[in-house]
Structure 1
Amino acid sequence: MQESASLNGSKSTKKGNYFVWLLKQLHGWPVQNYMLWFFAFGFQLAILIQNKITTLSIITFIGTLLGTLCVLAINATKAINGWLGLISAACFIYAGLEAKNYLSIFEQIAYILTLDLPVILAVRSWNDDTKNHLRKFGAKQWVVAIVGTLVVYAISGYLIGKFTNDPRPWIDAISFAISLTAGIMCFLRYNNQYFWWTASGIFQLILWGVTFAQGDATLAMAVNSLIYVVNDVLAFTVSPWFNMGRRREGLKEIKK
């Protein structure tokens, strides 16, 4: 009986330590990351309170804040991004369904499979494994990534336009194709993903801007895409994914 109580106590302690460790992943980021998140929080809060409060606006507000925190955590190579990404993906799936941007839903599912779950399953080792095993493209990888993006764009745009009532199939498709490729690059630890993430953010900004203009979504999703673009540009200078940021943290430079 005492052994059972001791075992349960040990398990509880381990769970407690796990959550404490996760929260510590929010420490030690470049100051620019924190500044961007607080800017995002203020901007999104202003949008929320200036418009009608609905289930969609609240879920979108939660998703955008956690989504911004997630991409900033990836930028800083912090493993808490897995849980942040999983929760924000659920919010964005709801927003995509309401807006009929169906490929944005598949985009979030792809993120869950290529980014969130692998990090969650290897959460204790992800930080060091990522920092110490980053790569960058050679000529072959550039060709494969570009061609792969174009093929996914063509196929997904055709299929979503033919079989659904998505009102913006080709804008939805280009955002999906670029984001899917970037997610795979992140999973494989290529820093070139940030060229794709930047392009993805731009096309998502266009997608959600058009969606908002057509009355199918809140402005928060478009603003969120703009903040993602800022994060991606920021990553080139302060993130351990690139040598400038690695030198700041005393890490070895990335080689091909």
Structure 2
Amino acid sequence: MDNSTSLQEDRKERKDNYFVWLFKQLHGWPVQNYMLWFFAFGFQLAILIQNKITTLTVITFIGTLLGTLCVLAINATKAINGWLGLISAACFIYAGLAAKNYLSIFEQIAYILTLDLPVIISVRSWNDDTKNHLRKFGTKEWIVAIVGTLVVYAVSGYLIGKFTNDPRPWIDAISFAISLTAGIMCFLRYNNQYFWWTASGIFQLILWGITYAQGDATLAMAVNSLIYVVNDVLAFTVSPWFNMGRKREGLKSIKN
């Protein structure tokens, strides 16, 4: 066997091992996470088959399932969330464009930059680095996060209302502002992100509920937001991002 053949086989083995390792990231989650995903799968499948099947509904269906799996993976501090988030973001960008919820598109781009790509780049070390280097807000961080969210809300709401035909600019903007701040918190490994994620899910539920009522989107996106809220609440009890979940896994408590 020549050197080039040996090198190709070595590269193939490393690639195969990588995908095997990624698949294993779906194992070892709290049972509540699996239950929530299968509930989401059944709910979203029912919505899909009860309505006219189009390119938009199929892409939305795929995005919601992978998006739910992504947030559950973040909840469980599993690095496969990077790839799941990247693919689901592409689906949600398509749905946001179709609905004219333009800031939801920028929201997904922000997720790609602050969450998905950093995890993919450091995928082998992300699990341990995250679990072992989590932080909580002090007074300064709370002030910066709240003020930053309000500033982004005001600026983005004004600009998207002035320069686009977004029919729901201010609802779109508050969802975007909260989600962007939460994404940055996750990148910086602050567990306080889940307060923002919960608020984000609520406002996304309102946004996509109104969008559905106005005939600009499928019900699947509103249901997806509701599933995200359940995941966020779940994270406070079973996720390694918080001490209750860390105790279950034998991890050290998070300190300021």
TM-score above 0.5, yes or no: yes
Q: Tell me how many residue pairs correspond in the alignment.
A: 256
**Amino acid in structure 2 at the alignment position of 1:190:** Y
Please list, as runs of the form range in 1=range in 2, the aligned pairs for 1:142-157 lying within 5 A after superposition. Answer: 142-157=142-157
Tell me the distance in 1 between the aligned counterparts of 2:159 and 2:190: 29
1: CA distance between counterparts of 2:150 and 2:3?
60
> 1:251 — aligned with what?
251
Q: Secondary structure at the match of 1:241?
A: coil
Q: How does 1:116-131 map to 2 (within 5 A)?
A: 116-131=116-131
Give distance in 2, aligned partners of 1:53 and 1:43. 16
Q: CA deviation at 1:221?
A: 0.1
- Give structure 2 stretches of 5+ with no counterpart: none
- CA distance in 2 between partners of 1:237 and 1:195 (Å): 13
Alignment match, 1:82: 82
SS state of the match for residue 7, structure 2? helix
TM-score by length of 2: 1.00
Corresponding position of 2:183 = 183
- Counterpart of 1:47? 47
CA RMSD, Structure 1 to Structure 2 (Å): 0.4
1:140 aligned partner? 140
For 2:211, the equivalent position in structure 1 comes to 211
Counterpart for residue 15 of structure 2: 15
Runs of 4+ in 1 over 6 A off after TM superposition: none
Structure 1 residue 173 corresponds to structure 2 residue 173: yes
Shift of 1:85: 0.0
Q: State the alpha-carbon separation in 1 of the partners of residues 249 and 18 from structure 2.
A: 25
Aligned to 1:4: 4
Q: Distance in 2 between matches of 1:89 and 1:26?
A: 19
One-letter amino acid of the structure 2 residue matched with residue 108 of structure 1: Q
Instruction: Specify the SS of the correspondent of 1:87.
Output: helix
1:58 partner letter: V
Aligned-pair distance for 1:237? Answer: 0.1
Report deviation, 1:233.
0.0
2:222 & 2:2 partners in 1: Cα distance? 56
CA distance in 1, matches of 2:202, 2:230: 10
Q: Distance in 1 between matches of 2:234 and 2:39?
A: 14
- Tell me how far 1:31 sits from its aligned partner: 0.1
Cα distance in 2 for residues equivalent to 1:244 and 1:31:
15
Shift of 1:102: 0.1
2: CA distance between counterparts of 1:57 and 1:109? 21
Equivalent residue number for residue 196 of structure 1:
196
The offset of 1:105, in angstroms, is 0.1
> Identical aligned pairs, as a percentage?
90
- 3-state DSSP of counterpart to 1:143: helix
